[in-house]
A and B are shown apart, each in its own frame.
Chain A
Amino acid sequence: MMDIVDKIKGIEGVKVTVQRENRIFVDVSEDKVISTLYNMKLIGFHQLSVQNVIDRIKDNKFEIFYVLYSREYKINAIVRTWIDRENPVIKTADKIYPSAHTWEREISEMFGIKVDGNEDSGKPFILENWKDLPPMRKDFDSVKYSSEHFVFRHSEGENE
């Protein structure tokens, strides 16, 4: 466990936190993500389990995380990075992890993040004819949207 942490620490510009056994957080700056992912794969993290985004609206940031898994060491490493919420752009990781391609399609649709190098970024994926804010952003209010676009069947006795 510790030798692999040391190996990861060897990658330039990373901050490693060991959450518990088999869970490592690797924080990097935005410009180093792709090189870090590349190095992580070289170390033995072959599998991208999930890549997604957290909307940190208070900090005005998007947190992008890649959950990697190494079969050899049986460790989950989570690579995290933060980008600005205005005009968000990330670089694609699908050359390193092919499965990132689809996650990036989803991210670009659900958060409105442009993915450089991914030709499907920005094309409709899950949604159809979507005209509002990207729905997974925190400032998109789902309840409001649904009460505006759909009609609820109101039973007579509303609250007290």
Chain B
Amino acid sequence: MVKMILIAIVAPLLAFSIGLSFMMIKRKVVARIQRRYGPTIIQPIFDIMKLLLKEDNISHGVIFSLGPIIAIAGSILSVFFIPIAGLNMLTGSGDLIALLYIMAIGSLGMALGAGDSANPNASIGISRALTLMFGYDLPLVIIVISVALQYHTTDLSAIVAAQANGHWALWSLPLSAIVGFVVTYGALGEHPFDIITAPHEVATGPMVEYGGKHLGFLMINHAFHLYVEIALFVDLFLGGASNIFIFYIKMFAVFFIMMMFDEVLPRFKIDDAVRFFWKWPTVVALISLIIVLVK
């Protein structure tokens, strides 16, 4: 029981710090690609702290304030479903499927809150977010199915265990892995999929009315989000890890490749993005699924 409580405290903290460290590194790396030095490495901490210290002088209703909380709650919940280095508490059969649902809570929470802000930009942003989710969920579901079929389980821990000793799904299911990478990339909203917040189009979309503490929560949520998406990919295709350091290195490698693309591509239009997801990733995922089925 004590162990459970300990894990319940440690796991989110760990997830948060990993996500935060990625945020820190990203700002530095982006800056270097852009031929500049960028902020001090701990700048995101200052930002979050400052936002939390801001005074509130707006109210758009309870739902508006609840949005970020729901988002964070959803993200933390998903953290418990993802096994890292033996830290897996809410395991049980079907947890991969459950995870997929729980991961959507974040977006829905945002949708709830932002929808309450009565700003057309926020509404457009939310509709874009949901549309995009709709777009990448289809290939995601297909590859999850492929992986599940490959390992005959929906238990993430089991999938991770099956990939031990270098038998990664990346090697056995290369096509699914590529699709998985693209989908994870899309889910993180990096360029060219930063359609939801696109400042030049919808002025940061759902976040347009959020400031201060709410924005701070959203930044924290982003850290969790980063962690959840990448950790899921690592668990599914890179065989998880037996200890936290290796897990971190694997996650970082994935994130680093993502950053490379992030800074050199302009963004998609929402319909193009959905079309994109339903075209190549879906087709490739299906091919991969067929390969699995045939094998």
Question: Do A and B touch (CB < 8 Å)?
Answer: no
Residues in chain A within 8 A of chain B (CB atoms): none
Residues in chain B within 8 A of chain A (CB atoms): none
